[in-house]
Amino acid sequence: MIAEGETAPDFELETDSGESVRLSDFRGRPVVLYFYPKDNTPGCTKEACGIRDAWSEFERRGAAVLGVSADSVASHERFKAKYHLPFTLLADSEHRVAELYGTWQPKHFAGKSFLGMVRATFLIDTEGKVARVWPKVDPSKHADWVLAELPE
């Protein structure tokens, strides 16, 4: 997993609206880059809605929020519309960015092992350095944790 103090690897992914964006497009403002397992699942919905509910504070601090999962652009579009999410979701269907950041890892569920997206968040500063890493995230506290670290 990418560590605090490292330069955040640049990448290009498709957004929930089908546009292409690069991480470097956001240079000059803090970026909350969060990886989550799957659209429309209980934990991921709770995490996304927590950010939505605190959105005015994220905006006040000038932060860009980018949610990344292996779901398709169409899935992201539906998820965003259903929960009125005001931030960008990125489709990493080939999990290239997740692998780059170390969030595509072995998981175990119901006695089976597989590779999947783990829930992790990276706070990237205005210069493109990783300022903070949360390798394990509690969806119900995620927004509060990130806001506590974002510069005023």
Contact by Cβ (8 Å): 126, 27: yes
Catalytically annotated residue among 2, 44, 91, 97: 44
In a 13 Å sphere around the CA of 149, the CA atoms on its Cβ side amount to 19
The two tokens of residue 68 are 């990344």
How far apart CA 45 and CA 2 sit, in angstroms, is 25
Q: Is 49 among the catalytic positions?
A: no
Query: What 8-state DSSP symbol labels residue 23?
Result: G
Residues noted as catalytic: 44
